[in-house]
Chains A and B, each alone.
Chain A
Amino acid sequence: MDPLLLSRIQFGANISFHILFPAVTIALGWVLLFFKLRYNRTGDVGWMRAYFTWVKVFALSFALGVVSGVTMSFQFGTNWPGYMEKVGNIAGPLLAYEVLTAFFLEAVFLGIMLFGFRRVSNRVHTLATFLVAFGTTMSAFWILALNSWMQTPAGFEMRDGVAHATDWAKVIFNPSFPWRLVHMLIASGLTVSFLVAGFSALRHLAGDRSDSMWKAMRTGVFTAAILIPVQVLVGDQHGLNTLEHQPQKVAAMEANWETRGSVPLILFAWPDEEARENRFEIAIPNAGSLVLTHSLDGVVPGLNDFVGNHPPVLPLFWGFRIMVGTGLLMLAVSWTAAVFVRRRRLPRPLALLMVPMAVSGWVATLAGWYTTEIGRQPWLVTGILRTDEAMGPVAGSHVALTLAGYLALYAILLVAYLAVLVHLALKAAKDGDTSPLPALADRPMAQPAQDMEAAR
């Protein structure tokens, strides 16, 4: 068995599983802060009910994100030792700063956020919620800085075959970083808005018309409706940035073989890399040039300029289309839903559509990441380190064994996660606005907590 291919599948499986949960927690932290601030301002317990419902989802997603993230930090060493040997001087500090400035912050204040409502003052609890949200976003900042550096390296020099940083500002704010960061943060926002909206739609279908359900539903739907056009604009800019710095990736995304002007926009095709042409092509004339260069006859680079040094075409072409297609669907659903929920109404067919759309953010995020990560191949770090050079000495059979183990584990956990979401939604629907909020009732407005007094 080929250890390289197996290692790549294993890393891909791990990071795909991992990204599902940060995609939820990054934005959900801010949504929780929003609920909390609304409660602080209005004193309306509906906001606090929404908070307590969603803080559970946050806790579960956070735990899954942490454990799969720990796995990642080990896999650099177990499967890709060449990576740290060659670019460890750059990757190391970025990862270290993630752990130091973000990971600890989230992990420590999560405890207070989840279980500390009765033990600390309301102000400290709000602060803890803010710090957790801030921490998850800082995490995204450092990780995307590193990922973007691997795509478009800058601010370094090679000495004795090892990368050394010469300018840390350039390393962090490398050419593709700002757009990638914004693109990912908004993707997380969309993932969460659709998750919240879909979860609330399930409650609606189960007969729940409670105030807290509508509060969450409206938050989700309106956020989605606002974010999606922004994401289209940001995605366009990110694409132009990629065209400038990684033209071969864009050429593969568009399955454009020859460098030429007036490129059509291909809607459907089956790119054939052997024959270096597209089969069954359906395209809109000149639209490709318009999208990529913002002019009808603009020149777009072709794959034949990069023979032997461009990523596989088929997964990029389709990954990109799945992402964009999902995005368009999200646009249609969120705008339609916004019209209805504005007046606290939701037709049943729309609710039925919104439930599966709860995971649309995941689909789009994964498709996007597959496009950009496969699009970096055959390089692990563009121009510096090829993926096959970073491989460790572990036998293929060992990798196959662990890969099977991870896949089984992840499949079980994903099913369990979704089952718990459904269970929580139905439970919330049953409780509605009658769910007890003991914490609010017996809260003596500040510390010390009752448990601490009992201990004395």
Chain B
Amino acid sequence: MTLDWPTLLPLIFAALMGLSILVYVVLDGFDLGIGILFAAADDHEKDVMIASIGPFWDANETWLVLAVGVLLVSFPLAHGIILTALYLPVFVLLAGLILRGVAFDFRAKVPVARKQRWNRAFFAGSLLASLAQGYMLGIYVLGLDTGLAAMAFALLVALCLAAAYAAMGAAWLIYKAEGELQKKAVVWLRGALVLTAAGLAAVSIATPLASPRIFDKWFAWPEIVLLSPLPVASALLFLWLWRQTFVLPREGDRHAILPFLTLALIFSLGFAGLAYSFYPYVVPERLTIWQAAAAPESLAVVLVGACFVLPVIVGYSFYAYRVFGGKAGDLRYD
């Protein structure tokens, strides 16, 4: 590999896309999860749950726009192939995102009698969007195969990703809520963790089995040793978090954010594994990032902007999270 711009730029953008997807999954993961947990919460709890994500969800979802944007900008060929192959799940994802995004605002503004209706829309939209994302991940992992077996596998992943998001949502609530709701969130986290672990295991096993190339990348000497920290660390973190769910919340609410950070770390490890498996392909076994890349001069133009703007975005996102730090109270338009 020579280190010139046409080689480097697609690499940089693949990294940028991976990073946006990961940030999206972690950030929108918790607010989608809150939506899924809506099914198990009472009326007052729902208001607190909404208050815990109200100021953030919009910006969280923007990372998805960035991820799709980077895919569209840097790998236009792959963008077309992947999205046409996933045509119907993409529609379900979008319909779900539309429903939940607007339900958020409608539930706060409609006459009280109609609030329940938008609560249901918020739950349904969040669940649909999560399932659709999991389904798409499943189909992608199997190389965009849409046979019957692949669909069954994708449905399993869909269920597990929804559970993983619910776990994120519960972990976020442990951080943002107090009293009864916080205790409930601990129980929710414990339940969702089981399916999350199952999903992570399913994807980890299916990915190498579906592709001999990926199998060889993992199970060869010395890679297998070098890579072993990934699954081992994930498993240890899972165990630790599982045990935490029996002692949380702690005295004085210490370390309430730890469950959320732990889950984020597990997500990152899993994502790193996936990234390693599929590199250098952007469309599994069909198009590498270099084959699918846009013209270097176009990528360079975007890169210059991204270098200036992304740090600023990260900076003001941190600022917003700080402004709305602490426990969630009433969310009011003033």
B88-A452 in contact (CB<8A): no
Q: Determine the distance from Cα of A165 to Cα of B320 in the docked complex, in whole angstroms.
A: 37
C-beta contact mask, A403-422 vs B, less than 8 Å → 1, else 0? 00110010001001001100
Minimal beta-carbon separation of A285 from chain B (angstroms) = 51
Cβ contacts under 8 Å, B218 to chain A: none
Please report B residues at the A interface, Cβ cutoff 8 Å: 54-56, 58-59, 61-62, 64-66, 68-74, 76-77, 79-84, 86-88, 90-91, 93-95, 97-99, 101-102, 104-106, 109-111, 294-295, 297-298, 301-302, 305-306, 309-310, 313, 316-317, 320, 323-329, 331-334
Please report A residues at the B interface, Cβ cutoff 8 Å: 52, 55-56, 59-60, 62-64, 66-71, 73-74, 76-78, 81-82, 84-85, 88-90, 92-93, 95-97, 99-101, 103-105, 107-112, 114-120, 162, 164-165, 168, 392-394, 398, 401-402, 405-406, 409, 413, 416, 419-420, 423-424, 437-440, 450-452, 454-456
Q: Determine the distance from Cα of A69 to Cα of B101 in the docked complex, in whole angstroms.
A: 12
Minimal beta-carbon separation of B272 from chain A (angstroms) = 25
B294-A92 in contact (CB<8A): yes
B98-A68 in contact (CB<8A): yes
If A100-B313, A452-B325 touch, whether A92 touches B106 (CB-CB below 8 Å) is: no
Q: Determine the distance from Cα of A162 to Cα of B64 in the docked complex, in whole angstroms.
A: 27
Other contacts beyond A100-B306, A115-B331, A164-B297: 15, CB < 8 A: A77-B68, A78-B84, A78-B87, A81-B79, A89-B298, A90-B298, A100-B309, A165-B301, A168-B301, A398-B88, A409-B98, A416-B102, A416-B110, A455-B326, A456-B326
If A56-B333, A93-B301, A111-B56 touch, whether A402 touches B87 (CB-CB below 8 Å) is: yes
Minimal beta-carbon separation of A195 from chain B (angstroms) = 16
Minimal beta-carbon separation of A292 from chain B (angstroms) = 38
CB-contact partner of B73 in A92, A165, A438, A452, under 8 A = A92
A81-B99 in contact (CB<8A): no
CB-contact partner of A402 in B91, B110, B295, B306, under 8 A = B91
Cβ contacts under 8 Å, B80 to chain A: 77, 81-82, 84-85, 392
CB-contact partner of B326 in A59, A78, A108, A451, under 8 A = A451
Cβ contacts under 8 Å, A420 to chain B: 106, 109-110
A74-B68 in contact (CB<8A): yes
Cβ contacts under 8 Å, B56 to chain A: 111
Cβ contacts under 8 Å, A393 to chain B: 84
**Can you list 29 contacts pairing A with B, beta carbon distance less than 8 Å?**
A60-B109, A63-B104, A64-B101, A67-B98, A67-B102, A73-B68, A76-B72, A77-B79, A77-B80, A78-B86, A81-B79, A85-B77, A93-B73, A93-B301, A95-B72, A96-B69, A96-B302, A100-B310, A103-B62, A104-B313, A109-B320, A111-B324, A116-B323, A162-B295, A165-B301, A398-B88, A402-B88, A405-B95, A423-B110
If A73-B68, A74-B68, A77-B79 touch, whether A416 touches B55 (CB-CB below 8 Å) is: no
B66-A112 in contact (CB<8A): no
Cβ contacts under 8 Å, B328 to chain A: 451
Nearest residue (CB) in B for A115 is B55
If A56-B109, A109-B316 touch, whether A67 touches B69 (CB-CB below 8 Å) is: no
Minimal beta-carbon separation of A149 from chain B (angstroms) = 13
Nearest residue (CB) in A for B178 is A455
Nearest residue (CB) in A for B94 is A71
Minimal beta-carbon separation of A120 from chain B (angstroms) = 6
Cβ contacts under 8 Å, A108 to chain B: 58-59, 62, 313, 316-317, 320
B313-A423 in contact (CB<8A): no
Cβ contacts under 8 Å, B309 to chain A: 100-101, 104
Cβ contacts under 8 Å, A110 to chain B: 58-59
If A67-B97, A96-B73 touch, whether A78 touches B83 (CB-CB below 8 Å) is: yes
Cβ contacts under 8 Å, B79 to chain A: 76-77, 81, 84, 88
Cβ contacts under 8 Å, A70 to chain B: 61, 64-65, 94, 97-98
Cβ contacts under 8 Å, A165 to chain B: 297-298, 301
Cβ contacts under 8 Å, A76 to chain B: 72, 79
Cβ contacts under 8 Å, A71 to chain B: 94, 98
B305-A101 in contact (CB<8A): yes
Q: Determine the distance from Cα of A74 to Cα of B88 in the docked complex, in whole angstroms.
A: 12
Nearest residue (CB) in B for A454 is B327
B62-A88 in contact (CB<8A): no
Cβ contacts under 8 Å, B302 to chain A: 92-93, 96-97
Q: Determine the distance from Cα of A57 to Cα of B110 in the docked complex, in whole angstroms.
A: 12
If A88-B294, A93-B298 touch, whether A118 touches B334 (CB-CB below 8 Å) is: yes
Q: Determine the distance from Cα of A446 to Cα of B73 in the docked complex, in whole angstroms.
A: 43
CB-contact partner of B94 in A74, A117, A454, under 8 A = A74
A81-B83 in contact (CB<8A): yes
Cβ contacts under 8 Å, B324 to chain A: 111, 115-116, 119
Cβ contacts under 8 Å, B111 to chain A: 423
A-B interface, 4 closest residue pairs, ranked by CB to CB distance from nearest: A81-B80, A111-B55, A77-B83, A88-B76
Minimal beta-carbon separation of B21 from chain A (angstroms) = 14
If A88-B73, A93-B301, A164-B297 touch, whether A59 touches B105 (CB-CB below 8 Å) is: yes
Nearest residue (CB) in A for B81 is A81
Cβ contacts under 8 Å, A96 to chain B: 69-70, 73, 302, 305-306
Nearest residue (CB) in B for A164 is B295
Nearest residue (CB) in B for A64 is B102
Nearest residue (CB) in B for A117 is B334
Cβ contacts under 8 Å, A419 to chain B: 110
Cβ contacts under 8 Å, A120 to chain B: 323
CB-contact partner of B87 in A62, A100, A398, A438, under 8 A = A398
CB-contact partner of A409 in B95, B295, B310, B313, under 8 A = B95
Cβ contacts under 8 Å, A90 to chain B: 298
CB-contact partner of B84 in A68, A99, A119, A394, under 8 A = A394
Q: Determine the distance from Cα of A82 to Cα of B328 in the docked complex, in whole angstroms.
A: 47
Cβ contacts under 8 Å, A439 to chain B: 332, 334
CB-contact partner of B334 in A52, A69, A413, A450, under 8 A = A52
Q: Determine the distance from Cα of A139 to Cα of B328 in the docked complex, in whole angstroms.
A: 31
Cβ contacts under 8 Å, B101 to chain A: 63-64, 66-67
Q: Determine the distance from Cα of A71 to Cα of B84 in the docked complex, in whole angstroms.
A: 14
Minimal beta-carbon separation of B185 from chain A (angstroms) = 16
Minimal beta-carbon separation of A93 from chain B (angstroms) = 5
Q: Determine the distance from Cα of A132 to Cα of B74 in the docked complex, in whole angstroms.
A: 28
Most chain-A Cβ atoms within 10 A of its Cβ — which of B111, B294, B317?
Answer: B294
